[in-house]
Amino acid sequence: MSKALLIDVTKCIGCGLCYEACKESHGFPIPDEQDTDLNATTYTVVQERGEYFVRKLCMHCENPSCASVCPVAALRKTPEGPVSYDPTRCIGCRYCMVACPFEVPRYEWTKAAPLVRKCDMCYERVRAGEATACAEACPEEATVFGERDELLALARRRIRNNPDDYADHIYGEHEVGGTSTLFITPVDYEKLGMKKIAITEPMPRLTWEVLSKIPSIVTVLGTLLTGIWWITNRREEVRRKEQGERSHDHPSGEVSHE
């Protein structure tokens, strides 16, 4: 079964403990001034949106664009849920950054040989059966770690029991075919600066629809081109033969070329 995170914006008090726990568990120094956006050493931030606090982190799509576009399969949707990253495969092409609908992956721009960086949903911990560092650090249960199905049920329950406190939408249930990071929000999520995603189909389908036709293109085009060559070559042979016969009639042996 696949793990997920549920973030309840109504419960978040903006303490930033998730941010610090994340930095700590990934071995990044904690700066004096809290980061305001993701970067190569910040996999999650808590952003202030009016009276609310909204976390930003990788959405861990069920069918991730980043993993589908990666030419060397450095990014991968693991069966456990996290979208993991193998820095030893990455060539640094940044197609994942272009493709990510949530604009999450970051690059080590200050390094001579940069790699991609993003939240890995504490893949090592999750594999060991533990919760993510952020979920463990949250004092308000604003970030909860668990099975995706169960978290969706929990989210629905919270919305149903307190319809006045929540917008009736689970962000990540259907966006780009579903994600493993889920949000429930007190107001319409767009008002909280979260990205509007109209597409409910997995994005990799868009490219796969074309890529899957390649074997047919190769065989059909190969046959067609060979066929054309065969016909035009035969025509050329016939023409040459006729010319040869004609030149036999002329003892001078002159062949005219157009």
Partner 1 sequence: MNSLRLPKITFWRVVLVIVLAAGGYSVVYRLIYGLGAATHLSDGFPWGLWIGFDVLTGVGLAAGGFTLAAVVHIFHMKKYMPIVRSSILTAFLGYLIVGVAITLDIGQPWRIWHPIIMHNPHSVMFEVAWCVMLYTTVLALEFAPIVLERFGWNRLAHAFHVAMVPIVILGVILSTLHQSSLGTLYLIVPEKLYPLWYSPLLPVFFFVSAIGVGLAMVIFESGLSSRAFGHHFEMPILAGIARALVVVLAVFAVLRVDDLFRRDVIRYLFVPRQETYLFFLEFLVGILLPMGLLAVRRIRENPRLLLFSATLVVLGFVLNRLNVSITGMVASSRAAYVPSWMEIAVTLAMVGGGFALFALAVRYLPIIPTEARIRSSHVLQSQKHATPAVPATAG
The reply on whether position 246 binds partner 1 by CB under 8 A is: no
Q: Report, in Å, the least distance between residue 171 CB and partner 1.
A: 15
Counting residues that bind partner 1 (by CB under 8 A) gives 61
The smaller minimum CB distance to partner 1, of residues 143 and 179, is found at 179
Of 103, 141, 168, 190, which one interacts with partner 1 (CB under 8 A)?
Answer: 103
The reply on whether position 215 binds partner 1 by CB under 8 A is: no
The smaller minimum CB distance to partner 1, of residues 141 and 208, is found at 208
Question: Rule CB under 8 A: which of 217-236 touch partner 1?
Answer: 217-218, 221-222, 225-226, 228-229, 232-233, 235-236
**Residues 7/182, Cβ–Cβ less than 8 Å:** yes
CA–CA–CA angle 235, 240, 244 (5° rounding):
150
Site mask for partner 1 (CB under 8 A), range 23-52, x = bound? ---------------xx-------------
The smaller minimum CB distance to partner 1, of residues 153 and 238, is found at 238
Q: How far apart are CA 113 and CA 118, in angstroms?
A: 17
The smaller minimum CB distance to partner 1, of residues 128 and 210, is found at 210
The reply on whether position 57 binds partner 1 by CB under 8 A is: no
Site mask for partner 1 (CB under 8 A), range 109-128, x = bound? xxxxxxx-------------
Q: Give a three-class secondary structure readout of the chain.
A: CCEEEEEECCCCCCCCHHHHHHHHHCCCCCCCCCCCCCECCECCEEEEECCEEEEECCCCECCCHHHHHCCCCCEEECCCCCEEECCCCCCCCCHHHHHCCCCCCEECCCCCCCCEECCCCCHHHHHCCCCCHHHHHCCCCCEEEEEHHHHHHHHHHHHHHCCCCCCCCEECCCHHHCECEEEECCCCHHHHCCCCCCCCCCCHHHHHHHHCCHHHHHHHHHHHHHHHHHHHHHHHHHHHHHHHHHHHHCCCCCCCCC
Of 98, 124, 139, 149, which one interacts with partner 1 (CB under 8 A)?
Answer: 98
**Residues 95/80, Cβ–Cβ less than 8 Å:** no
The reply on whether position 70 binds partner 1 by CB under 8 A is: yes
CA–CA–CA angle 132, 133, 138 (5° rounding):
100
The reply on whether position 188 binds partner 1 by CB under 8 A is: no
Q: Report, in Å, the least distance between residue 188 CB and partner 1.
A: 18
Q: Report, in Å, the least distance between residue 54 CB and partner 1.
A: 16
Interface residues with partner 1 (CB under 8 A) are 38-39, 65, 68-74, 89-95, 97-99, 101, 103, 106-115, 197-199, 203-204, 206-208, 210-211, 214, 217-218, 221-222, 225-226, 228-229, 232-233, 235-237, 240, 244, 255, 257-258
